[in-house]
Amino acid sequence: MSRARAEQQPVAGGNMLLVSVALGMAFLLIWALLNVAKAHTGPIYGESNMLFVSLIFYAGAGALYMGFGVTGIERYVKFASIATAIGFLANTAAAGHRWYIAGRPPFSNMYEMLLSFVWTVALLTLIAEKGYGVKIIGSITMPISVVSVILMQLMPSDVRPLVPALQSTWLHVHVSLAMLSYAACAVSFALAMMFLIQDDMKTETFQVLTAISMAVVYISIVATRFRSGGLAVIGWDFNEKSEIFVAQGQRLFAIVPDLGWIFVLVLLSTVIPIALYFVARFRNDENFYVYANRGMFLTILLQAMALIVFVLRVQNGAYPSAEVQGLFRSALPASPFLLSGMVGSIFAGLLFLLMLWRREGLQKMLPSADNLDQVTYKTIGIAFPLLTLMIATGAYWANQAWGSYWSWDPKETWAAITWLVYAGYLHMRITRGWRGRRAAYFAILGFAVVIFTFFGVTYLLPGLHAYS
């Protein structure tokens, strides 16, 4: 069912945002330029400077895309695209420079992976927008890029030589395929979500699903890190700029007191909207949906506060450990998963709020549900062969390095499970004619499995894949 395109909004209001964003970006660029000139922090085209430039342009693009999301003014998209494209060029320069310095493509540690990821996301944003006409996708992908670049600043960025097992061309091929396929799966997820918006899935359903995702994040954190009121974080060795290990593969955990209780509180706050949703359904009382939405506000607020407290306490603290005597220092780079989980959860909450406030506007400017359904399928048609090649090159590399192409390692197994889930999507679609809602659910499930394969396996399960 197609919907009417957005009516032309008055252009006068459109200029304000454009001008403020442009001014903001110009200010930051000039400030950065002055800094570089003053402190001689490397050549203008150097990696860190180019990365900063791309950050500024992605942030500007993100602001304009979100502005488009809220107001529907098409002019914003034009400028947002230009900003994205410039950011992408700067990002390419940064990655290229790093490649040149390191003598190999940027795939061997967290910092480099994020660098490649952000580059891929920007590329896919431009493709989705120009190739498939999904203009709103930038409002999701650009904020993700901005957060990733900020996260990168916390990672140790020095170029480290590779241990023997990672010295192989197949590494680069395997990792780039992984990056591309995960990015394609992420895009299919975003498209499936947009489909659900267009397909008139109830706002309450979005609310409870967002709340459940947030709860899952905080349950995982509390279940694995709560220690008698405190929160266990990985200790950081400031000299080595790496995590502290007590034994082979076993990290040292320092316990930040009272932080555990704060996270339990946040966890409870994510459960409340879920409970209110079920009360509303059970009692058939619409008021409880309103309370549930208020609960969402509350939990997002609490999560933001918890994030601030976490950052302040962990950034440069010294805490005791349960296993070893003495105080150990903590630092943000030691907790990339916790940070990603918290930031991602807040981001999901904010997207829900955007939907809550501006659903009609969004529905007017998004492509039709049918269209979105088709594009989701096409995106998965790109993601699935990439996933296949990723697994195949991973197996070939494993065979070269460890003598076996398949050892049922958790990461391998979960990659295979991801593949099977998307194969399931394709089967249901092709042979059973599943379209619309059911296909969208399947696509979302697929992405959840991708997230688990990428984060959950490294974070929650042990294995050979401990490199990233």
Identify which of residues 28 and 389 has a Cβ nearer to other proteins in the complex: 389
Instruction: State the nearest-atom distance from the C-beta of 248 to other proteins, in Å.
Output: 10
Identify which of residues 224 and 404 has a Cβ nearer to other proteins in the complex: 404
Identify which of residues 38 and 432 has a Cβ nearer to other proteins in the complex: 432
First to last CA, the chain: 44
Instruction: State the nearest-atom distance from the C-beta of 135 to other proteins, in Å.
Output: 15
Instruction: State the nearest-atom distance from the C-beta of 177 to other proteins, in Å.
Output: 12
Instruction: State the nearest-atom distance from the C-beta of 138 to other proteins, in Å.
Output: 22
Give the footprint of other proteins on this chain (CB under 8 A): 2, 160-161, 163-165, 167-168, 368, 370-371, 374, 381-382, 384-385, 388-389, 392, 395-396, 399-410, 413-414, 416-417, 420-421, 423-424, 427-428, 431-432, 457, 461-464
Instruction: State the nearest-atom distance from the C-beta of 53 to other proteins, in Å.
Output: 31
Per-residue exposure over 240-249, b if at least 16 CB sit within 10 Å of its own CB, e if not: eeeebeeeee
Identify which of residues 146 and 383 has a Cβ nearer to other proteins in the complex: 383
Identify which of residues 71 and 368 has a Cβ nearer to other proteins in the complex: 368
Instruction: State the nearest-atom distance from the C-beta of 365 to other proteins, in Å.
Output: 14
Identify which of residues 2 and 20 has a Cβ nearer to other proteins in the complex: 2
Identify which of residues 9 and 368 has a Cβ nearer to other proteins in the complex: 368
Instruction: State the nearest-atom distance from the C-beta of 2 to other proteins, in Å.
Output: 4
Instruction: Identify whether the C-beta of residue 103 lies closer than 8 Å to the C-beta of residue 84.
Output: no
